[in-house]
Amino acid sequence: MATMSRPITTLRLERGGADDAPVSARVRIEALSASFSGKPAVKNVSMDVLDHRVTAIIGPSGCGKSTFLRCLNRMHETVSGATATGRVLLDGHDIFDPRVNPTAIRKHVGMVFQKPTPFPTMSIRENVAAGLKVHRPSPTGRELEAIVERALRRSALWDEVKDRLGAPATGLSGGQQQRLCIARALATDPEVLLLDEPTASLDPISTQSVEELVYELRKDVAVVMVTHNMQQAARVSDVTAFFLHGEMVECAPTAKMFTAPQDARTEAYITGRFG
């Protein structure tokens, strides 16, 4: 795998090594609030997203966790009536700065949605390359092929599709489609990858393959994953944040969160008393 230029740090991670070494914050969120047509969805959230870590956002339906995620690449504002205040610092740069172009942010902060969203008229290759087309200058020929292959390898899909890159993306299974969407997001080499309940529409086996992939991805990127599956958060994340009614109740290393939660509401949620 090609080495990538990382301005902050390049840690070598072993499994379970979440607490071993200090890591820097790739994204710093300061007093972030978001609302839809005046109705608040996220209230005054501050937290750090660490580089080379998987941060899981858990919480009951409607707690604002997806809205929170969608603020991190300014997708939130694409919905009419949606507003956000506070600061989100990506490597120290405020992405809400009026001079910042949201499309530029989204090239550094990739996103994968709940349902696989391959472009149905495009082949597998074209899907992976879709995000590259909007980059200037966009790569072509061999360079493009190399990027497509690397992205598919990183999303653990290469071996399954290498012989049919020209085939329609819709011919893939649901789990393969989701990994294709992850490859598509990785092709532009983002520093942060946002996953919005990436396994919610997948069967258990596909879910497992995506989870394994997410665990691998943190070698290269900071991952933020929204999930309402607590076991999933426990399995793949290094840090977990618990959201309730738009507020962040608690954010802690995952092992600590699931064994010794500080807040009574967190404990109630993870022990299954509500949500």
Partner 1 sequence: MTPSNAAAPLPDSGQGTPNTAIDGQDLQGGGWSDRAYDALLTAFALCVPLLLVLLIVALTMAAWPALKQFGFGFLTSSDWDPAAEHFGAAPAIYGTIVSSVIALVIATPLAIGVAIFVAEFAPRWLRQPIGFLIDLLAAIPSVVYGLWGIFVLVPALRETVMPFLRDTLHLGATPFFSGPAYGPSMLAAGVVLAIMILPYISSVSREVLLAVPRSQREAALALGATRWEAIVGAVLPFARSGIIGGIILGLGRALGETMAVTMVIGNRHEIAASLFAPGYTIASLIANEFAEASGDMHLSALMAVGFVLFVITLLVNFVARWLVWQTSGGTRKVG
Binding region for partner 1 (CB under 8 A):
73, 75, 78, 80, 103-104, 106-107, 110-111, 113, 115, 117, 119-122, 130-131, 133-135, 168-171, 181, 184-185, 188
Instruction: Name which of 77 and 263 has its Cβ closer to partner 1.
Output: 77
Instruction: Name which of 189 and 238 has its Cβ closer to partner 1.
Output: 189
User: What are 190's two structure tokens?
Assistant: 């983002």
- The least CB distance from residue 179 to partner 1, in Å, is 15
**Of the candidates 232, 239, 228, 270, the residue with the CA atom closest to the CA atom of residue 64:** 228
Distance CA 193, CA 182 (A): 9
Instruction: Name which of 190 and 261 has its Cβ closer to partner 1.
Output: 190
Instruction: Name which of 23 and 210 has its Cβ closer to partner 1.
Output: 210
Distance CA 256, CA 240 (A): 9
Instruction: Name which of 189 and 220 has its Cβ closer to partner 1.
Output: 189
User: What are 178's two structure tokens?
Assistant: 């989701």
**Of the candidates 127, 134, 91, the residue with the CA atom closest to the CA atom of residue 109:** 91
Residues 6+ apart with CB under 8 A from 21: 11
- The least CB distance from residue 250 to partner 1, in Å, is 28
- Render 74-133 in DSSP notation, one character per residue: T-GGGSTTEEEEEEEEETTEETT-TTS-HHHHHHHEEEE-SS----TTSBHHHHHHHHHH
- The least CB distance from residue 115 to partner 1, in Å, is 6
Instruction: Name which of 11 and 111 has its Cβ closer to partner 1.
Output: 111
- The least CB distance from residue 132 to partner 1, in Å, is 9
- The least CB distance from residue 53 to partner 1, in Å, is 21
- The least CB distance from residue 260 to partner 1, in Å, is 36
Written as one letter, the residue type at 232 is Q
Asked whether the beta carbons of 228 and 58 are under 8 A apart, the reply is: yes
Asked whether the beta carbons of 151 and 190 are under 8 A apart, the reply is: no
